[in-house]
Structure 1
Amino acid sequence: MQVIFVDADQVVRADMGELYDMDIKGRPLAYTPFCDNNKEMDGYRFWRQGFWKDHLRGRPYHISALYVVDLVKFRQTAAGDTLRVFYETLSKDPNSLSNLDQDLPNYAQHTVPIYSLPQEWLWCESWCGNATKSKAKTIDLCNNPMTKEPKLQGAKRIIPEWVDLDKEARRVTSVISGEQKDLTQAPPLSPQPDSSTSKGEERDLESLAEL
């Protein structure tokens, strides 16, 4: 059994069943590595220098906006316990785990191995650039440390279908919160006689409506 996590600021453009059925080669976790083809961002790729470069030893640094957990393998290998031990150790250092959901699994991947998903499963403008956007199966609104553009502003520019998706999300939220009735689930209207309907037909329609 697999569980897929997807960030709320991510738009899916593919059948997630493909990801669910993917063979992640017996590893408990699967993440997508950060893109490296937007050369403008080379100076911001912290995993290519200093501590992370030495620690990863050639392994990729993965982004946590989307990932897969193989629950069977996760439990069989006690991956959760291992991650908790790493967390307990790293949390004592205030400079560690600045980005917990990414730093912890990437730090522990020597012991809790990560399967690297194909790059198209997570496209982000900041790190990937536009050359590979057409192949993207998901688009993530990741932060851009260079421009610091607000995510909602970037969404309208990057994702053509964002406006319609945002409207639909707001409508569903209103329905769930009770602020708006869901017109798509409204019961059928009872027949209404028009001005040309005879008195006898009106009585028949009224009887029918009461059934």
Structure 2
Amino acid sequence: MDHRHSMRRAQDGHNFDDTKSKSDEVVHLSCDRCDSSEHTTDACPWFKKGRDKHPDAQRRKMLSMGGDSDGKVVYLQNARIVTMPGDGNCLFHSLCYGLGGVENAGTLRRKIADFIARNPKLLIADTPLEDWVNWDSNKSVREYAQRMARSGWGGGIECAACSHLMHVNVHIYEREKKASSASYFSRSRSSRASGGGFKRISCFNLPGATRTVRVLYCGGIHYNALVV
């Protein structure tokens, strides 16, 4: 869950030339906490705690809010990974792909944020959405949604909201490299070549949904789409 960038000046390895003028220095603004390019980490207006404590560092843990709501341990082996850009919107790109491209990532992000803001009492795993938001970010639903509409890495909260908003099931998987091939429902050359299959780690099921969107959690803060 640790992708690090901070304010720095450009230099050429160990051969940095101290005689370069200040006009040659390149300063990059990048926040280690919310992925913004508009301020430094220390000046982050959203997260005051360090990376190891703020909610994006808890992303893998928060995915568990979906649980295995249908009571099954599910593995896939004949699944195909569709790589998404690492631009801070990877979860939303992945969800859009699974939805059939009916939205773009930016539009879906804003719609999900608006849904969260309008539904603080929605029960997710028997717990109000506003409580999940508070545990995840120590912010009100309104504050959280305002930030998420603009930037920030999505996770379990956004997957749950997407499920209700778009009337689909959202299932989250991660790569399972060491599992026995006998554990999987089916086999394919492409999945065997990747070194293993995929284990479902969370699912957000909606009664009556006829479509399931599958997302691959790649560790840290990145997601890809998963197609079966």
TM-score, structure 2 as length reference = 0.21
Larger Cα-atom Rg: 1
Higher strand share: 2
Higher helix share: 1
TM-score, structure 1 as length reference = 0.22
